[in-house]
């Protein structure tokens, strides 16, 4: 059976999304981490556009445009401005060293594919086989949140996790209702502003964005 070219292209984009998730997991420079997040958003927008074209789901065109505007243009711009004002460039210290983190990431990918296999059989649509990649992207983003010390890199990991959830929704059900997607987009945007204010408060209190300093509040 010949696999449609659109599905082959979506599979390629899904593989690139997973590679970017691994690149973000290994990245120590916050500026590069934000750039990788922007590329992840671009691939997600392109994938959503192709799914919309292949399935005639017109609301997904709006979702693709919203993803492009929010996750490729607006959020990376805000994050770049934030790290420039905070004068943050590097996130060298991690809770687990990079080689060990990558090995844990590979184990999470294997777990994700095994867990998603029965779910994919129940799902409908041309992208149902990509649920494993979507789940792996979510777990890798969660792992990045757990292993980073800098608050900025944890927020980027949180946004990447939301990308994985969005890709999972597109893979399993051809997207969520547009009103739900607009609500999620607004929540993510507001959360970014709140995190920005939170960063400045941490910086003023501890003169650092290392979250381990917040343990002092518990000791006081």
Question: What is the predicted pLDDT for the residue at 124?
Answer: 57
Question: What is the predicted pLDDT for the residue at 217?
Answer: 45
Note the pTM of the prediction, 2 decimals. Answer: 0.78
Question: Residue 157 in contact with residue 23, Cβ under 8 Å?
Answer: no
Parse the chain into domains and list their residue ranges.
5-219
Question: What is the predicted pLDDT for the residue at 1?
Answer: 46
Closest CA to 52 of 67, 70, 69, 36: 67
Question: What is the predicted pLDDT for the residue at 197?
Answer: 57
Instruction: Give the rounded distance of the alpha carbon of 156 from its chain centre.
Output: 7
User: DSSP alpha helices (H): ranges in the chain?
Assistant: 5-26, 30-55, 59-67, 75-86, 98-122, 131-147, 151-173, 178-206, 215-219
Per-residue pLDDT of the chain (220 residues; tens, 9 = 90+): 455 777 788 888 888 999 999 999 888 888 888 899 999 999 988 988 888 888 787 778 888 888 888 888 888 888 888 788 777 666 555 677 888 889 999 999 999 888 887 776 665 555 566 888 888 998 998 898 888 877 778 788 888 888 888 887 776 665 555 545 555 655 666 566 556 655 555 555 544 545 454 445 444 4
């Amino acid at each position: 059976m010949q696999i449609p070219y659109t599905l082959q292209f979506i599979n390629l984009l899904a593989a690139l999304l997973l590679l970017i998730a691994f690149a973000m997991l290994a990245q120590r420079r916050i500026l590069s981490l934000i750039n990788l997040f922007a590329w992840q958003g671009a691939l997600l927008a392109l994938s959503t556009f192709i799914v919309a074209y292949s399935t005639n789901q017109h609301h997904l065109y709006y979702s693709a445009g919203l993803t492009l505007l929010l996750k490729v243009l607006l959020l990376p711009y805000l994050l770049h401005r934030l790290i420039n004002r905070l004068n943050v460039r590097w996130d060298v210290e991690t809770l687990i060293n990079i080689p060990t983190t990558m090995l844990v990431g590979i184990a999470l990918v294997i777990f994700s594919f095994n867990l998603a296999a029965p779910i994919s059989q129940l799902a409908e649509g041309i992208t149902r086989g990509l649920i494993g990649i979507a789940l792996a992207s979510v777990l890798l983003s969660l792992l990045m949140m757990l292993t980073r010390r800098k608050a900025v890199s944890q927020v980027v990991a949180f946004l990447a996790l939301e990308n994985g959830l969005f890709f999972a929704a597109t893979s399993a059900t051809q997207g969520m209702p547009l009103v739900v997607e607009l609500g999620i987009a607004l929540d993510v945007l507001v959360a970014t502003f709140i995190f920005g204010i939170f960063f400045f408060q941490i910086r003023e209190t501890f003169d650092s964005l290392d979250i381990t300093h917040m343990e002092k509040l518990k000791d006081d």
